[in-house]
Structure 1
Amino acid sequence: MIWEKTQERLKDALSSSVYNLWIEPLECLEVRDDAILLKSPDRYFSAYINQHYLSSIEEMVEQTGEMKRRVLLFEGESKPVTVGAAKGQLRLPNIPENNSTLRTLHPRYTFDQYMVGESNILAESACRSMSMLDDSIGPCLYINSDTGLGKSHLTHAVAHKVFAESPMTRLRYVTAQQFASEMVRNIQSRTMDAFKSKYHDQCDMLMVEDIHTLKGKKKTQEELNELLDALIKTGKQVIVTSNRAPRELDGIDEEFRSRMSSGLITSIKAPDISTRQRIVINKASQHNLALDSDYSEFLAQHIRGDVRQVESAIVAIRAKSRLTDGYIDIDMIREVVADVVGVGKAMTVEMISELIAKQFQVSMKELQSKSRKKRFTFPRQVAMYLCRKHTEDSLADIGRAFNRDHSTVLHSIKKVTNLAVRDTSVNAQVELLSGKIKSL
């Protein structure tokens, strides 16, 4: 009865599309004195509700039942168990309470769900080694990348695997800001001895995210540098993430920078188009969304940076398709892409070269290589020709993208132009590719 009344209140408070999409699928399994247990379709659904609508649901539950109850979401037949008072965080089996400090782990941020490509294979391999408590890559792993390329996915994956296979490991997983705030609180309360003991003596693995946010915080850097030194000397493992390489960090003490560089330093680059398409297909599968290959390719072509934007696009497509009885067309895909990344983005050499590489079934490395094999030279020449035709880049700019000088680009343009005039099949191929570029 409480859930039915809560649903009525939510129906009035939310738009009909939001209610139908996110509230109606929830099923009430049990009402307790302190909590109401709801079943959701899948883990992603639960994560999205937790992030966007949980507070509203709990507020309506309280208004309906005249007492405060927590709302717990889960999937399948087993009920969730919470860690202490931390809302929604799962207690891992056989882990003593307060043994580890960690951010709430995303259920799908595992190694199995991580799409590996040339851009991230070293970082993924290193994290797998660290998760198995293997010290072959050194005591400290430093990962840097732009936002949304998978740093947090990998650190969550390490935590998942460590707790699954070595549940007694004392893992401290915090952001740099959380570490700084905790240190300040302990200084103010004069409990720094307990703070130091927690991290120095009761820690087997330390993970600190976003180390670049400590710019100018000299005291925190000194404390963390001392901690890293103590852990490394006692054979413990450390993973640090940042948005740039150690040498590029501004406002970071040189000794601290050196300490973080004592092991493997690896970066994650933006994924190539084939990896992006696999990411799109994987995200769609997670949301039970069937996408034609043309649509997944279109999304991969246009959503090129932050992988979270792929998730946002898939969610939007799924929501829109529910309103059209599952029907999806290219106009819907274009509309979603425009909402996610904007419209009117200029064509780039990278976009064209990636398309050509895929059409000729060669890699970007092969396209940019010094090889003179016809299998690589003809696609390379076509790519240069089309880059000149569809972008505003200079011959020198196009040449740099292919590790060539401007004279090579000019030669390629003349070569393809002459071939297209003499050979109708080449002309048809070039026109077909040009049409694909215009539809990007």
Structure 2
Amino acid sequence: MTENEQIFWNRILELAKSQLKQATYEFFVLDAKLIKIENQVAIIYLDRMKELFWEKNLKPVILTAGFEIFNAEISVEYIYDEQAAIQEEQPVSEQSRNYTAPATLAPIQSDLNPKYTFDNFIQGDENRWAVAASIAVANTPGTTYNPLFIWGGPGLGKTHLLNAIGNSVLQDKPNARIKYITAENFINEFVVHIRLDTMDELKEKFRNLDILLIDDIQSLAKKTLSGTQEEFFNTFNTLHNHNKQIVLTSDRTPDHLNDLEQRLVTRFKWGLTVNITPPDFETRVAILTNKIQEYNFIFPQDTIEYLAGQFDSNVRDLEGALKDISLVANFKQIDTITVDIAAEAIRARKQDSPNRITVIPIEEIQSQVGKFYGVTVKEIKATKRTQDIVLARQVAMFLAREMTDNSLPKIGKEFGGRDHSTVLHAYNKIKNMISQDDGLRIEIETIKNKIK
């Protein structure tokens, strides 16, 4: 595809995703593919059974994208034969599809961490789209989402997914040229090659890859060294033009990469941008259950749940807590990790952590939720069931379970003496709503940031 065709198709996907439920978008839209635009007609490869849905629901989206990108009315023609789709596309990128790296290329060191795989990545609601996109990229690199841009806070699994993509591809294609590197190290290599006057080596190394996995791309935006962003821009273009996969991670969205050249920001948005948020309580329990297999100790379920209630910001805190516990348990020569032992082991970590959550009173959660939704704490605790109060009450219960280690009966008592089953119902309801409503998810993250 040309650059404008790619932007046009990305806009269609963006509009469709904003208007459809996630499951509908996934089923009817994700497998479709823009082949080319010819004489103001978009040729789209599609499963035949999905044509009626596109005709009834997505024609306005195509029209909107057409006027936005081309300032013209773009009509659509569907083709259903995948082989025909490949043949249609071939003239557009014949050179790219037939591109092969020079036979004399030096071997590439992937720098992948073999312990990071899809099999040992714990999936939850907060990361399922990032996982799905990463698996899709690993299955068909260079064709599905290119680039794939994964963003989120530290310790949430971005590096794990980058490595999992590379390790998965190497399993099927051991000779694939794959490179994992942080943006900081890319900059350092650039500096070294500039100093040694060996830039051709750097270009050969990075521009002949099959997959480039760049971690913490925000570091590139911080650097003002002349030529660094220019070299990355040219590397990106070369790989993308030859249908080589690029995956980037960042602690923020492309639009918030300050000091990064706009042409790079634009290219980062050509493919798919997905977010990873902090794990919920159930996911933290699953992560701990998986991680404790690495230790020769017995962790009763109440200890696991206690630990899951202590740290809600990222996976690294959970892993660090297990290391602290291992140290204490080995010193005391004990086999079973009780809640008391766990509490003793992580005491220092909780005191040092800006994200510790055990000191948050439920009353503070109720107060902040009430302020956000314009209701009083008294109304949240009472039995009144107007829509705004019910939502605030359920959100407060959800956060009380997410952000404290209080039991369900204890939480229920703080909400006017309600039964623990009421708290569990509220928690599950809000959790399900978050998975389908990005607006509510953002509201809850905003409240959590006010509470912390």
Q: Give TM-score, length-normalised by structure 1.
A: 0.59
Which of 239, 243, 248 aligns to 1:235? It is: 243
Cα shift at 1:430: 5.3
Cα shift at 1:322: 2.7
Alignment partner of 1:148: what SS?
A: coil
Alignment partner of 2:197: what SS?
A: coil
1:414 maps to 382
Which of 319, 328, 349 aligns to 2:337? It is: 328
2:211 & 2:158 partners in 1: Cα distance?
17
Cα shift at 1:406: 1.4
Q: Give TM-score, length-normalised by structure 2.
A: 0.58
2:322 & 2:356 partners in 1: Cα distance?
23
Instruction: Give CA deviations for 1:173-193 in whole Å, capped at 9, x if unaligned.
Output: 211111111112212222212
Q: Is the 8 A contact 2:110 2:179 kept in 1?
A: yes
2:234 & 2:132 partners in 1: Cα distance?
28
1:109 & 1:307 partners in 2: Cα distance?
14
Identity over the aligned pairs, expressed in percent? 27
Instruction: Give the letter for the 2:209 counterpart.
Output: C
Change in Cα spacing, 1:302 to 1:253, as seen in structure 2 (3 Å) is same
Q: Does 1:180 align with 2:187?
A: yes
1:338 maps to 347
Q: Is the 8 A contact 2:181 2:214 kept in 1?
A: yes
Residues 1-150 of structure 1 aligned to structure 2 (within 5 Å): 98-103=106-111, 105-135=112-142, 137-150=144-157
Change in Cα spacing, 1:344 to 1:131, as seen in structure 2 (3 Å) is closer
1:377 maps to none
Structure 1 residues not aligned, in runs of 5+: 1-95, 353-386, 418-427
Q: Is the 8 A contact 1:347 1:391 kept in 2?
A: no
Instruction: Give CA deviations for 1:377-430 in whole Å, capped at 9, x if unaligned.
Output: xxxxxxxxxx9x7333574x31477xx4316x643322189xxxxxxxxxx985
Instruction: Give the letter for the 2:340 counterpart.
Output: D
1:344 & 1:189 partners in 2: Cα distance?
43
2:408 & 2:287 partners in 1: Cα distance?
29
Cα shift at 1:346: 9.6
Cα shift at 1:432: 7.0
Q: Does 1:293 align with 2:301?
A: yes
1:155 & 1:406 partners in 2: Cα distance?
43
Structure 2 residues not aligned, in runs of 5+: 1-103, 386-406, 415-419, 424-452
1:132 & 1:199 partners in 2: Cα distance?
22
Instruction: Give CA deviations for 1:163-217 in whole Å, capped at 9, x if unaligned.
Output: 11111111122111111111122122222122212222x2111111111112133
Change in Cα spacing, 1:331 to 1:345, as seen in structure 2 (3 Å) is farther
1:212 maps to 218
Change in Cα spacing, 1:179 to 1:432, as seen in structure 2 (3 Å) is closer
1:244 maps to 252
Q: Does 1:391 align with 2:391?
A: no
Change in Cα spacing, 1:287 to 1:212, as seen in structure 2 (3 Å) is same
Q: Is the 8 A contact 1:100 1:172 kept in 2?
A: yes
Alignment partner of 2:181: what SS?
A: strand
Instruction: Give the letter for the 1:336 counterpart.
Output: A
RMSD (Å) for aligned C-alpha atoms: 3.2
Which of 145, 155, 163 aligns to 2:162? It is: 155
Q: Is the 8 A contact 1:347 1:390 kept in 2?
A: no
Change in Cα spacing, 1:431 to 1:268, as seen in structure 2 (3 Å) is closer
Cα shift at 1:156: 1.3
Instruction: Give CA deviations for 1:58-92 in whole Å, capped at 9, x if unaligned.
Output: xxxxxxxxxxxxxxxxxxxxxxxxxxxxxxxxxxx
Q: Is the 8 A contact 1:303 1:337 kept in 2?
A: no
Change in Cα spacing, 1:433 to 1:289, as seen in structure 2 (3 Å) is farther
